[in-house]
A and B are shown apart, each in its own frame.
Chain A
Amino acid sequence: MKLFDRLFRDAPLATRGEITPKLGFLLTVLLAIVWLIPFLWMVVATLRPASDGINAMAELMPSLKPTLDNVRDAWEIGDFPRYTLNTTIICAGILLVQFVTITLAGFAFARLDFLGKTPIFYLFLMQLMLVPVLLIVPNLSLVAQLGLYDTLTGVMMPFFASAFGTFLMRQAFEAIPTELEDAALIDGASLLQRIRHIYVPLSMPSFSAFAIISVTSHWNDFLWPLMVINSPDKRPLTVGLSVFTKTAEGTQAWGTIAAGTLMVIAPLLVTFLIFQKRFISSFVTSGIK
């Protein structure tokens, strides 16, 4: 009970004696352990030597003779360095173009008064509702017509404009005092110079929040690259992993599958564990992604 007393130390005095919140907390602890089991299995199975046999595969107790054989096998069977490179190119390409488009559009909405502002604002808002995933069929034929079928550019293109990012930047820019811009205006700074030297440097937290959301969602994208990409050497991690899993499943090489999965998710998990707070607050704003 000592532990509970410490956990509920800052609860209102009157409610500290109640039992229900504590039961809820216990249940949550149990569920959190259940939630972690797939990850635990992944790590344990990655390190398990093949000599333990298929029947011990599900054992959650780590093997006494850990080995990196599975990692080596996965590395050799799947073309993971190539997949990682492709995914990195896709995420970086999308993000760079998005930074330009959302900065410009966000500034227009935040600081400029123009004809048709309201209807154009709603045009942007509509992108949030139209759920891009559902438009895979028409977008695939457009990408094919543009000659971008089976190219990484084709995978990136539909995401170059982002209504979510535009709104995020609009909010960030609106919070910047106009006096700063006026001072630059007197010094003769052009519109783009003012954006570049005043608005962008002061909005770095919003840019990083957007970057986190954009990169995680495109790192994890599967269906769209699956449709656009045909050549094996252009596959991103997700598509590569699904092909790899299919192959390894046939031979019941579950240790290798676990190792491959670990390699795919490790970069994001490590980044998350380092920048936990940032990630969480970014994801809260991402509800409207």
Chain B
Amino acid sequence: MSLAEPASLAVATSAAPRLDVLRRFTTRFKASLPAYLLLLPSLVFLALFTYGAMGRVLVDALYQRATPKAPVRFVGLDNISAVLADPAFTGAVVNNLVYAAGTTIPSIALALLFALALSRTNAVSSALRAALFLPVLIPMVAASALFMFIFLPNVGLLDFYIGRLLPVLPNWLGDPDVALYAIMVITIWKNAGYYMLFFLAGLQAVPEDVMEAAHLDGAGPYMRLRHIILPELKPTFLFVIVIATLNAVTQVDHVFVMTQGGPSNSTNLVLFYIYQQAVEHYDVGKASAATLLTLAALMGLTALSFRTMANREGGP
């Protein structure tokens, strides 16, 4: 509402309300033009690569080609049911669920430990924070290159040192029962330091005098953690869980570099499945259907983060 607008306008012209509404709308629209011009560059790119892309996924999921060269034809929900019936896809979903649980929980637990231990600012703890944060900065591809050697059978870092203690070791990336857990280790190593930052920020909100009072009342470290720190960190937990879960779906470059989804599909995750359908099998219909299903599955989660973010951003 601009100040130039007389407050009595609505009463004075009540005889022709529709005309008045229209006129007010056009005045406001005209007054809004500069804002629209400023937003235009952003909106063009958002329209092309975010909303347009969403619409395209919806449409592409409904069409199929008989052969890569044949014209597209409308197939309705056939792509979706084909994807759901594809054991490679359901396998990827199961793998991704295991992967999400197996990376989110340990990395958040470690992040909390790190943050609790390093919450005081001094030279030692900031050096340790930096050490734990280093993996966050490097590309997943570089982490994969390092871990490829760490997991190398016989001569690799892990076998070289642990092999002295345990005589029989699995082929970390070559054994279908072990490979998924091996790539989880990389994700935990890479992300724990990132989540630590949010817990460090959250811990700032825990009042020191309350902690001291609790101690004087006889509360030990565990009691203080359980009854003061954890309740105070609840928003942080929610937020970090959302990010960690999104990362479990989207941040899977190491699968591309290290395992290609193998051995025997044991590390095939949803995003890799989508990539395979689109790039290796040229099946855009199926890739779009899988994208659509994944987006839908993340909807509930993102709605949660949406609320958290809207709160953080303080609304429009």
A9-48 interface (Cβ within 8 A of B): 10-15, 18, 20-21, 24-25, 27-29, 31-32, 35-39, 41-42, 45
B142 to chain A: which residues have CB within 8 Å?
Answer: 238, 241, 261, 264-265
Q: CB of B228 within 8 A of chain A? A: no
Check A112 against B149 for contact (C-beta < 8 Å): no
| Interface pair B284/A100, CB less than 8 Å apart | no
B105-123 interface bits toward A, Cβ cutoff 8 Å, 1 = contact, 0 = none: 0000010011011101010
Q: Does A193 contact B (CB under 8 A)?
A: no
Please give, as numbers and ranges, the residues of chain A lying within 8 Å of B249 by CB-CB distance: 131, 134
Which residue in chain A gives the minimum CB-CB distance to B212?
A: A12
Which of B14-22, B28-36, B82-90, B91-99 contacts its partner? B28-36
- Asked if B31 and A238 make an inter-chain contact with CB atoms under 8 angstroms apart, the answer reads no
Q: Pick the contact of A28 from B57, B118, B137 — CB < 8 Å?
A: B118
Contact across chains for A15 and B215 when beta carbons are under 8 A apart: yes
Most buried by A among B126, B216, B221: B221
Inter-chain contact A15/B212, CB cutoff 8 Å: yes
CA distance A91 to B257 in the complex (A): 22
A222 touches B256 (CB 8 A): yes
Query: Assuming A14-B216, A105-B38, A137-B291, is B284 touching A41 (CB within 8 A)?
Result: no
With beta carbons under 8 angstroms apart, the residue of A15, A36, A120, A127 that contacts B131 is A36
CB distance from A113 to the nearest CB of B (A): 6
Inter-chain contacts of A160 with B (CB < 8 A)? 41, 45
Docked Cα-Cα span, A130 to B211, in Å, equals 40
A contact residues around B48 at 8 Å (CB): 142, 157-158
* Dominant secondary structure of chain A at its interface with chain B: helix
Q: Answer whether residue B203 sits at the interface, using C-beta atoms and an 8 A cutoff.
A: no
Is A183's CB within 8 Å of the partner chain B? Answer: no
A140 touches B278 (CB 8 A): yes
Task: Report yes or no: A31 in contact with B110, Cβ–Cβ below 8 A.
Answer: yes
Tell me, yes or no, whether B181 is within 8 Å of chain A by CB. Answer: no
Within 8 A of B (CB), among A115-170: 115-118, 120-142, 157-158, 160-163, 166-167
CA–CA, A51 to B148, complex, Å? 22
Taking a contact as CB atoms under 8 Å apart, the answer to whether A35 and B193 are in contact is yes
Tell me, in angstroms, the Cα distance from A23 to B53 when the chains sit together.
Answer: 51
Identify which of residues 250-281 in chain B touch chain A, using a CB-to-CB cut-off of 8 Å: 250-251, 253, 256-257, 271, 274-275, 278-279
Do A137 and B284 have beta carbons less than 8 Å apart? yes
* Chain B residues engaging chain A, CB cutoff 8 angstroms: 1-2, 25, 28-29, 31-32, 34-36, 38-39, 41-46, 48-54, 56-57, 60, 110, 113-114, 116-118, 120, 122, 124-126, 128-150, 152, 155-157, 159-161, 189, 193-194, 197-198, 200-201, 208, 211-212, 215-216, 220-222, 239, 243, 246, 249-251, 253, 256-257, 271, 274-275, 278-279, 284, 287-288, 291, 294-295, 298, 302, 305-306, 309-310, 312-313, 315-316
Instruction: Give me the interface of A with B, judged by CB distance under 8 Å.
Output: 7-8, 10-15, 18, 20-21, 24-25, 27-29, 31-32, 35-39, 41-42, 45, 54-55, 57-60, 100-102, 104-105, 107-109, 112-118, 120-142, 157-158, 160-163, 166-167, 191, 216, 219-223, 226-227, 237-239, 241-242, 245, 249, 254, 257-258, 260-261, 264-265, 268-269, 272-273, 276, 279-280, 283-284, 287-288
Beyond A35-B189, A105-B38, A141-B284, 10 additional pairs, beta carbon < 8 A: A36-B131, A58-B160, A133-B250, A161-B41, A161-B49, A223-B271, A258-B145, A258-B149, A283-B136, A287-B239
- 23 A-B pairs within 8 Å (CB atoms) are namely A11-B120, A12-B211, A27-B113, A32-B132, A35-B189, A115-B29, A121-B315, A125-B310, A125-B313, A131-B302, A132-B50, A134-B274, A134-B291, A136-B274, A137-B284, A138-B52, A139-B53, A157-B45, A158-B48, A220-B141, A239-B141, A268-B138, A269-B137
